[in-house]
Amino acid sequence: MKYTPGPWKMRPNGDISSAPRGGKAVSVCSISWGMSASDDKPGNARLIQTAPQMSEALDELMLLVTTPTVSQAILGNPKLLPKAKQIIENAKIVLEAATGEPQAVWPRVDHTKPKLE
């Protein structure tokens, strides 16, 4: 996944920067709010600045559910399986949109991804 790592911070003027702990802030982009309603700006800003963390969380979720123990537990539980499949498919769709890369079909494992420790 290639993007400027977070955490991202957004200023009221729409400038977004990455401010890693102990590192120098780096400009990511600037958002022009145009004619959007003022009520939408804070919510949109929160979504934009948390996008890296959300993407990383979904990536971790996919790593977790493809571990043999977890995938076998999900597949072996008929009550859990339908909802789990829906959640996993939604995470896969979002990650594909965010990264521009295809994701493995669950429960297959993508061995090119780092492993959970």
What tokens does 48 get?
């934009």
Q: Which residue shows structure tokens 């909802």?
A: 83
Cα distance between the two ends of the chain: 19
Which residues lie below 8 Å from residue 42, measured CB to CB, with a gap of 6+?
Answer: none
Q: Where are the beta strands (DSSP E) in 1-115?
A: 8-10, 15-18, 26-30
Q: Which residue shows structure tokens 């800003």?
A: 45
Determine which helix (DSSP H) or strand (DSSP E) holds 90, and give its type and residue range. helix 81-99
Q: Where are the beta strands (DSSP E) in 40-83?
A: none
Residues 107 and 36: their CA atoms lie apart, in Å, by: 41
Provide the residue-wise pLDDT of the chain in tens; the chain has 117 residues. Answer: 467 777 788 777 778 888 777 778 888 878 776 665 566 777 777 888 888 888 889 989 998 998 889 999 999 999 999 999 999 999 999 988 888 888 888 987 666 766 655
Q: Where are the beta strands (DSSP E) in 1-117?
A: 8-10, 15-18, 26-30
| C-alpha closest to that of 10 among 49, 42, 36 | 49
Which pTM was predicted? 0.71
pLDDT at 8: 80
